[in-house]
């Protein structure tokens, strides 16, 4: 299957193909990483791309799937999280120069749960500085994948751009005052803000974590 065609599968279709062995997690993760490296220099959706650890993780989950240990619909699926979510040993900058070298000692609960579900983390996504009003002047601003002149959304703009541009199959963003809903509307995808307290906010700065996913 052609690389970009594979990247544009729906999450549900990809999950089915992973479970049946039609494609491997390594194959789809490599395709996503290749697409990120081609498109992110223009779109600025990712602040950190995790090539080595993502491919290592994908190889692990492929072995699990072949052994019949199916964890569920996210097993082997490449996802990304807003860089407001702590990730153990991985840069968590909150899009600020203040935290440019911070590597937390633990991960946010939502990240741990994604890992437990078998998801493959491919990177950390761009946002407004500390998910507040605007971007740090020394950090790149995400571009709307449909038209660079259009607004990419609010603080979860990197999550919206990455999901819309098929640079991941789903992403985590945060929404205190519209920061999931705005980029979802601006980038033409589906965003979900669940009931307050439904998803843990432990080790996530300021806001409540949420899903963003495309309807492709």
Q: At what angle do helices 25-43 and 51-66 cross, to 10 degrees?
A: 150
Percent of the chain whose predicted confidence (pLDDT) is above 90: 79
pLDDT digits (tens, 9 = 90+) for 37-61: 999 999 999 999 999 999 999 999 9
Cβ–Cβ contacts within 10 Å for residue 43, how many? 23
Give the count of domains, the chain: 1
In this prediction, residue 4 carries a pLDDT of: 85
Active-site positions read 82, 155, 179
Which CATH number covers residue 11?
Answer: 3.90.1300.10
In this prediction, residue 187 carries a pLDDT of: 96
In this prediction, residue 177 carries a pLDDT of: 83
Are 176 and 205 spatial neighbours (Cβ–Cβ below 8 Å)? no
Q: At what angle do helices 25-43 and 11-20 cross, to 10 degrees?
A: 150
**Domain interval for residue 112:** 3-213
In this prediction, residue 195 carries a pLDDT of: 77
Successive 10-residue mean pLDDT values, the chain, 216 residues: 82 97 98 98 98 98 97 98 96 93 94 97 96 89 96 94 98 89 94 80 59 45
CA 68 – CA 63 distance, rounded (Å): 9
In this prediction, residue 206 carries a pLDDT of: 54
pTM of the model: 0.91
């Amino acid at each position: 299957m052609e690389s970009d065609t594979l990247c544009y599968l729906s999450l549900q279709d990809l999950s089915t193909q992973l479970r049946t062995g039609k494609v491997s997690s390594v194959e789809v993760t490599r395709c996503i990483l290749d697409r990120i490296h081609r498109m992110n220099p223009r779109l600025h959706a990712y602040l950190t791309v995790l090539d080595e650890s993502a491919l290592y993780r994908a190889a692990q989950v492929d072995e699990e799937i072949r052994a019949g240990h199916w964890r569920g619909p996210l097993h082997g699926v490449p996802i990304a999280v807003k860089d407001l979510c702590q990730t153990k040993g991985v840069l968590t900058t909150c899009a600020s120069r203040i935290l440019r070298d911070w590597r937390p000692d633990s991960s946010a609960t939502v990240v741990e749960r994604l890992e437990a579900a078998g998801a493959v983390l491919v990177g950390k996504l761009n946002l407004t500085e500390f998910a507040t009003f605007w971007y740090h002047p020394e950090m790149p601003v995400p571009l709307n994948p449909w038209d660079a002149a259009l607004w990419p959304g609010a603080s979860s703009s990197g999550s919206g751009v990455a999901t819309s541009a098929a640079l991941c199959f789903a992403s985590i963003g945060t929404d205190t005052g519209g920061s999931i809903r705005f980029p979802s509307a601006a980038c033409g995808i589906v965003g979900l803000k669940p009931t307050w307290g439904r998803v843990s906010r432990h080790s996530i700065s300021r806001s409540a974590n949420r899903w963003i996913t495309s309807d492709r």
